[in-house]
Chain A
Amino acid sequence: MSASIPNPVRSAFTTHERDDTVIVNIGPSHPATHGTVQIIAELDGEKVLRTDVHCGYLHRGFEKECEDHTWHNLIPYVDRLNYCSALINDFAYCDAVEQMMGIEITPRTKYLRTLLSEYSRITDHLTCVAASLMELGAMTAFLYLVTVRDFMYEHLAALTGARVTYSYGRIGGLANDVPDGWFTRLREILAEYETYIARVHGLVDRNRIFIDRLRNVGTISTADALHWGFTGVILRSTGVPRDLRKDTPYLAYAELDFDVPVGINGDNYDRYYVRMREMDESVYMIRQLMDMMPDGPINVDDRRCVFPEKALVYNEIESLINHFKLVMEGPSVPPGEIYLAHEAPNGELGFFLVSTGGGTPHKVHVRSPSFVHMGGVHRMLDGYQLADIVTTFGSVNMIGGECDR
């Protein structure tokens, strides 16, 4: 059977550079390559001479499906782009649609979205750092980080009702307000986080094995990072302080006090350290946001996109029609197009939306950081050891759902 199926992947190279090298396939579905990624590598002994990275395909058909659903119904789809920080995808998408419709969200929603974005950034970075540490054998550190991440997941589940795919954003607001006692628990979790993170810093920061495996491995220069379109942590690890939260502030970021941590060498250690520092900044921001949190409504008063209250739907014909129209036809977004980007944990997450008017998008394109990173990741793998692929690839934090189209 297997002989009749052609190889779906064509490598950039099939011939050997030298006689004494071997070409090996790493992945897909190898523990080192988180997901659908296949790395075709030419090896000289343990040394990686050159690699060809294929990002693979999850067969989800995200962009095609979007063209057949209303603007509201896309929210569960954008959730699944990056399942570690689904809320940021939600908010970036909603923000883009709201700007097309000319909607200004309420102050409370603005602050809540900022808070939840930072919360998601922590869970995403925790996942990435924990996985990288586990791949290096640091099981204790992994368990510490995953423990605190699970506190956060449970806490977010208490807010949204789901564990990782929250579908919590709405065009013009949020699904619901925070329950009673949620902020109190958040303060407790942040304190827990600091305890556990201090333990992880103590375990690995000055650990000989850890530093030797990460320092000067997977190095990328600033020029290369820009050339290959890298954004987010990878670009910042090379020393470029590019952060959309500072550069073009959105939501409530302009009112917050925070730093943009950068690295020096652009190696794996810098990426680890930038992530750890960013989480501390996020905690600092969340505390500011909790103190500044305004009261008020969650949803804007706009019949074009926000569902009327249930009591009105049952008792008033106008609201009933409004409800039906929103469900059957979707919110009417005026014709036009927009490109809007938020700073996701991995880098710039941009939504390019095209509307011809009406309830269904003409086109939805997502500029996902993971997909772009796969184009240049070979520059971080070539020339290092075979075992370094695991650590370098872990520090890129590739998410399969984002590579998908």
Chain B
Amino acid sequence: MTTPFLDLVEQQFAPSSGIESHGVQHGVLVLQLDPAALLPVAERLKSQFAFDLFLDVTAIDWPDDALRFEVVHHFYSTTHKVRVRLKTRVSASDPTVDTLKSLFGSAGYMERECHDMYGIVFRGNDDLRPILLYEGFSGHPLRKDYPKQLEQPLVPYRPPQGTLVR
């Protein structure tokens, strides 16, 4: 289910410096990028190919890989009605990619969630405040090595006081 426009975009982003692979999956163009190429490619997508809607950013944790995290960005073009997905591999020791805050306001916001959940650092985003977690929460819950049963209550549990009337 590819469109002529998607083919055109695919040709424009043929494997070169920074772009490792490309292909269409389920009607979505998927580009595998070098971290350094993320911001330039996103800029080109926005300015040249009218990908004006930033939909989502998230990460995939592959705990056994050397480059552990895969940061995934989703874009949509309201004029051409096609989607592009950018994928960037980063290592656990330096999980840093560039922020797209300068291009899309929504990116700055959604990066906060990705930072909370996976510990991905978005270079240039000065507003990586916790969004779903509280200040002082340790760890990143959606990482595979974060135990599912671990509890970190903000307010310590305390036994009920007084007499319980039943």
Q: Which residues of A contact B (CB under 8 A)?
A: 5-10, 12, 54-55, 57, 61, 63-65, 67-68, 99, 226-229, 231, 240, 242, 247-248, 336-341, 348, 350, 352, 354, 362-363, 365, 367, 371-372, 374-376, 404-405
Contact = CB atoms under 8 A, between A and B. Distances in A.
Contact of B60 (A336, A362, A367): A362
A55 B78 contact: no
Contacts of B67: none
B72 A352 contact: yes
A352 B74 contact: yes
Contacts of B74: 339, 350, 352, 367
Interface string B29-62: 0000000000000000000000011111010110
B60 A363 contact: yes
B109 interface: yes
B55 A367 contact: yes
B81 A248 contact: yes
Given A5-B155, A337-B60, A341-B55, 6 more contacts: A54-B131, A57-B133, A63-B117, A65-B148, A227-B106, A405-B132
5 contacts: A12-B127, A229-B107, A339-B26, A375-B105, A376-B105
Contacts, number: 107
Contacts of B146: 64
B24 interface: no
B25 A229 contact: no
Contacts of B107: 229
Give the top 4 A-B pairs by smallest Cβ distance, nearest first: A229-B106, A375-B109, A8-B134, A367-B56
A339 B55 CA distance: 11
A367 B58 CA distance: 9
Given A5-B155, A352-B74, A376-B109, A226 B53 contact: yes
Contacts of A339: 26, 28, 56, 74, 83, 85
Given A64-B148, A240-B78, A372-B110, A337 B25 contact: yes
A3 to B, nearest CB: 13
B59 to A, nearest CB: 9
Interface of B: 25-28, 52-56, 58, 60-61, 72, 74, 76, 78, 81, 83, 85, 104-110, 113, 117, 127, 129-136, 141-142, 144, 146, 148, 154-155
A340 to B, nearest CB: 7
A336 B105 CA distance: 30
Nearest to B154: A8
Nearest to A55: B131
Nearest to B112: A375
Nearest to A226: B52
Contacts of A367: 55-56, 74
A295 to B, nearest CB: 28
B96 to A, nearest CB: 20
B117 A229 contact: no
Contacts of A61: 141, 148
B56 A365 contact: yes
A354 B60 contact: yes
Contacts of B154: 5, 8
A229 B60 contact: no
Contacts of A350: 55-56, 74
A6 B136 CA distance: 9
A246 B136 CA distance: 45
A229 B141 contact: no
Which of B54, B132, B146, B148: most chain A Cβ within 10 A?
A: B132
A99 B26 contact: yes
Contacts of B132: 55, 57, 404-405
Contact of B54 (A54, A67, A229, A248): A229
A5 B27 CA distance: 49
A144 to B, nearest CB: 35
Nearest to A58: B132
A10 to B, nearest CB: 5
Contact of A10 (B28, B81, B129, B148): B129
B37 to A, nearest CB: 20
Contact of B135 (A6, A227, A336): A6
A363 B25 CA distance: 17
Nearest to B103: A227
A375 B60 CA distance: 22
A350 B133 CA distance: 23
Contacts of A99: 26
Given A229-B54, A367-B56, A372 B131 contact: no
Contact of B105 (A57, A63, A228, A352): A228
